[in-house]
Every structure is written in structure tokens, then in C-alpha cells.
Amino acid sequence: MTSKTIELSLDEIFNLAKASLLKHGANEENADAVANTVTNAERDGSLSHGLFRIPGYIKALQSKKVDGSAKPEIKEVTPTIFRCDAKNGFAPLAHKYSLKPLIEAAHKFGIAGVAIQRSHHFAALWPEVETISENGLVGLTSVSYTPAVAPAGGTTALFGTNPMSFAWPRPGKNPIVFDMATSSMAKGEIQIAARDGHSVPLGTGLSSSGELTTDASEIDKGVLLPFGGHKGSVIALMIELLSGPLVGETFSYETKERDNGDGGPVQGGQFILALSPEICSGKDTSDQIEQFINKYNEIDGVRLPGARRHKNREDNGPRQVNAELINTVIRLRDES
Ligand code: NDP
């Protein structure tokens, strides 16, 4: 089944997203940061983190789970460790406040980290690490969520879909960047497949009765599986630790316990690490990196991670957006 789409320019996407957030109580600064993240996701073809997320952001504003006027606070704990209290606000503004001191410290000391607390993350992770790499640094981050993924061998969800993202700088070029859920498929992708009536590969998840199925709507009601069997499962476990206790925040199951279940982004933590290749290696390694990428690209059938999104980004033209979704967001914007 192919769903109907409507053409919107990137400016129209931004304005629609921002106006709908403002309408439901976000202040200018928060609405701007979230709308920017949503628009960049549509621009890059990361559809499960574009306008698709606006109804969820708005549910969280309506239920007052998220403070749409939050002003994040950054504390320098040591010269290389920062703690950001997102003040119960949306993650994009916490990133805006955190990344500048993080990048400055990594340039000065070679390594720096920020522990983000009380943040509501509902987006892709590449915007954080790409910003770090655009500033000549390596970026690494992860977040947990609420239980949706069964550890390898099990049928009960304990891990979130726990994405991680990594970016390596390439002066004058797009960074090498990957951004992936550690579940076999991101939850948003399952929801979109369920909405559009598409099936998914066997091994993606289990139905509510614990059976393997290709039916996305059955998996949406059941559990996802980790990517790569036990190997993905142990990485998801690491992300539970890095995004929870390391930053003074919750595991996915604890996050769920305190959430009000409104369907909007849950409150949780995030650790972001920045590293300077120059300071670590003591030299300029950019020629070595480019030679490696040439070798990589010489192999038939391969492409760099991030290349799909970066290609989409070259097109500044309008985007095709699901018509039903646009109508939903317009209704939210125009609610009295
Ligand atoms: P994908 O499986 O689509 O892609 C994962 C990575 O692999 C991407 O960096 C992609 O690059 C790259 N890639 C894909 N195909 C190839 C290939 N043939 N060769 C080399 N690299 C390739 O992503 P997921 O579905 O796992 O995740 C989607 C998004 O969901 C992520 O942005 C993630 O952050 C987000 N998410 C957010 C959560 C949250 O709580 N905030 C929870 C879970 C997921 P490219 O982009 O260029 O295709």
C-alpha cells in the first residue's frame, strides 16, 4: 500500500513544525531548536524523526511532562566533564547549550564529555555528532529509552531501542558518520511500516505471544530483537549503562516507570564524548583518512555510512510528506 503524499518546501516544514510547537506552549527558543531538528530530519530523509514526531512532542507539552520553556543549565564539573541539566526540556536545546563548551574543551584537552540529565530525546543522534565533527573532532553518543527490545535469547523487553552515533571529521567534506538503533529496526520505522501496511524481515521482532513474525503491527504490540543477535544485545546493554547510571539517569525500565505514558518523549540521559584526533595522535591524519576512504570506496557494492543522508541534503527542493501526517500537524497547529 502506498500512502498519499503532499509536497512541502523545507521552509514550510520548519514553519509548520515551529508554529505547532508554539501553539502548544513551547517558547521561541525551544520551538526553534525542535523545529530545526525536525526539518533537518525531513531534509536528510530520516522520516521517522521528522514531522512524524510532532504529535508526540505536542502530547508531551499538553500533558506538561515537558517544560516548553526550559532553559538548560551547564556546569563545568572538571575541565573536561560538563553536566547539563536539561531542566525537563526537549533535547535539541540541551544540545545547543552543551556542544559549545564540549567542543572547546576537547580542542584544549584532547577529550571532553557532557552528561545530560532530565532531557527528552525524540530524534536521531547524528545532529549532535555531526556538529562535533564539523568542528574537527570525533563525536560519540548514545541514548536509552523505554523497554522495547528483548535481550538475546529472551522474549521480554528490557532494553530501549538504544541508538548510538559516531562521527569522524573530514576537513571540507561531510564526516564519516553512522547513527543506528541497536534494535534490528528503529521503533519509528516499525510504526511507519505498520501504518503503511508493509511487512518487515523475519528476525526483526516477536509478536505479543513471543512468535517470530514479519507483521510490523504485531511487532509493534510485541517486542523488537537486537541487531546481530547476542552481539547487538551486549552493545544495547552498554548503552543502558552509558545513558543511565554514568550520567546520573535511569535505565530504560526505570524511565518507563516514571513516565506518564502520554506517548511523547520520555525523560532520560545522554552522554556525549568528543575527541581530538590531532591531540591524541600528535599529527595531522587527514591524508591517511582520505587514503583509507579511497580504498573503502574502491570495493564494489560499498558506500560510506551517512552518504544517503548527505546526498539527500544536497537537494534544497521540496519534500514529499505523508498527507495524513501533514493534516494531523495542521490540525494541531490550528487547534483553538
Ligand atoms: P539504519 O539501519 O537505517 O542505518 C544505520 C546506519 O547505517 C546509518 O548511519 C546508515 O547511513 C548506515 N548505512 C545504512 N546502509 C548502509 C550501507 N549499505 N553501507 C554503509 N552504511 C550504511 O538506522 P536505524 O533504523 O537503526 O536508526 C534510525 C534512526 O533512529 C537513527 O537516527 C537513530 O538515532 C534513531 N533512533 C532514535 C531513538 C531515540 O530514542 N531518540 C531510538 C532509536 C532510534 P545513512 O543514514 O546514510 O543511510
**pLDDT tens profile 259-275:** 999 999 999 999 999 99
Residue 48 has pLDDT above 90, yes or no: no
Position 1 pLDDT exceeds 60: no
Yes or no: say if 34 and 57 are a contact pair by the CB < 8 Å rule. yes
Give the nearest ligand 1 atom to 164 CA: 34
Is the pLDDT score of 66 beyond 80? yes
Q: What's the pLDDT tens digit per position in 71-104?
A: 999 999 999 999 999 999 999 999 999 999 999 9
pLDDT of residue 191: 87
pLDDT value for 169: 98
- How far apart are the CA of 305 and the centre of ligand 1, in A? 8
Q: Whose CA is nearest to atom 4 of ligand 1?
A: 180
Q: Which of 146, 179, 191 to mutate to test the pocket of ligand 1 (most atoms within 8 A of CB)?
A: 179
Catalytic residue, from 20, 46, 48, 184: name it: 48
pLDDT in tens, 186-241: 887 898 899 889 999 999 999 999 999 999 999 999 999 999 999 999 999 999 99
- For the residues of 282-320, what is the DSSP string, one character each? SS--HHHHHHHHHHHHHSTT---TTHHHHHHHT--S-EE
Compute the distance between CA of residue 169 and CA of residue 27 in angstroms, rounded to an integer. Answer: 33
Average pLDDT in the 39-67 region? 96
Residue 211 designated active-site: no
Percent of the chain whose pLDDT exceeds 90: 96
Closest residue by CA, ligand 1 atom 25:
186
CA distances from 168 to 32, 37, 126 (A): 27, 21, 11
Whole-angstrom distance, CA of residue 204 vs CA of residue 186:
10
For the CA of 121, the closest atom of ligand 1 is 41
Tens-place pLDDT, residues 105-117: 999 999 999 999 9
pLDDT digits (tens, 9 = 90+) for 156-168: 999 999 999 999 9
**Distance between CA atoms of residues 145 and 125, nearest Å:** 13
Can you give the pLDDT at residue 280?
Answer: 98
Rounded mean pLDDT, 19-29: 98
Ligand 1 atom nearest 122 alpha carbon: 41
Q: Whose CA is nearest to atom 24 of ligand 1?
A: 180
Grid coordinates belonging to 277: 584526533
State in Å: Cα 282 to ligand 1 middle.
Answer: 32
> Would the pTM of this model clear 0.85, i.e. be above it?
yes
Task: Assign 2 a pLDDT band (cuts: 50, 70, 90).
Answer: low
% of the chain residues with pLDDT over 70: 99
pLDDT in tens, 292-332: 999 999 999 999 999 999 999 999 999 999 999 999 999 99
* Catalytic residue check, 189: yes
The answer to whether 290 is a known catalytic residue is: no
